[in-house]
């Protein structure tokens, strides 16, 4: 019983750490996908403006609106195109802060996820 009592906190921390990092990687993957899809949409939109609502709405639809994903609402930006040059690039950035749960015990608290995607503008 004493050995179990000594080892149990380490096992809980290990399993919790695996779970937390799995959630972090899943969240990062989902945000990367949303940023990529937003950039794909933005490169073909005519008259693209800074923080275009069409791009923001499309990215918002790909990120769930609950739980750990609520931190990414409002953290979506894109640059606009003014002169329609063939070298213009569109960058869609999704930003949010992932907060650890059980790993706060060992001092890990927040990880800022800033995911930019840049593509060449095709909407000319």
Between 55-59, 61-65, 73-77, the lowest mean confidence (pLDDT) is in: 73-77
Mean pLDDT of 102-110: 80
Percent of residues in the chain assigned helix, strand, coil, to nearest 5: 50, 20, 30
The token pair at 8 is: 């149990």
Whether the model clears a pTM of 0.95, i.e. scores above it, the answer is no
pLDDT at 81: 85
Scanning the chain, the segments in alpha helix (DSSP H) are 2-42, 53-62
The token pair at 93 is: 């950035």
pLDDT at 100: 81
pLDDT digit string (tens) for 7-50?
Answer: 999 998 899 889 988 988 998 999 999 999 999 999 998 888 99
pLDDT at 80: 86
Among residues 48, 60, 46, 36, which one has the least CA distance to residue 119? 36
């Amino acid at each position: 019983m004493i050995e179990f009592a000594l080892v149990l906190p380490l096992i809980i921390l290990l399993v919790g750490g695996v779970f937390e990092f799995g959630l972090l990687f899943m969240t990062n993957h989902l945000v990367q996908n949303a940023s990529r899809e937003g950039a794909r949409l933005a490169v073909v939109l005519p008259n693209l403006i800074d923080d275009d609502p069409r791009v923001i709405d499309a990215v918002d639809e790909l990120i769930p609106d609950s739980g750990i994903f609520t931190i990414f609402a409002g953290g979506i930006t894109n640059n606009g195109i003014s002169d329609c040059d063939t070298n213009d690039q569109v960058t869609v950035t999704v930003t949010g802060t992932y907060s650890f749960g059980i790993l706060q015990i060992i001092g890990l608290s927040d990880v800022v996820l800033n995911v930019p995607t840049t593509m060449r503008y095709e909407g000319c």
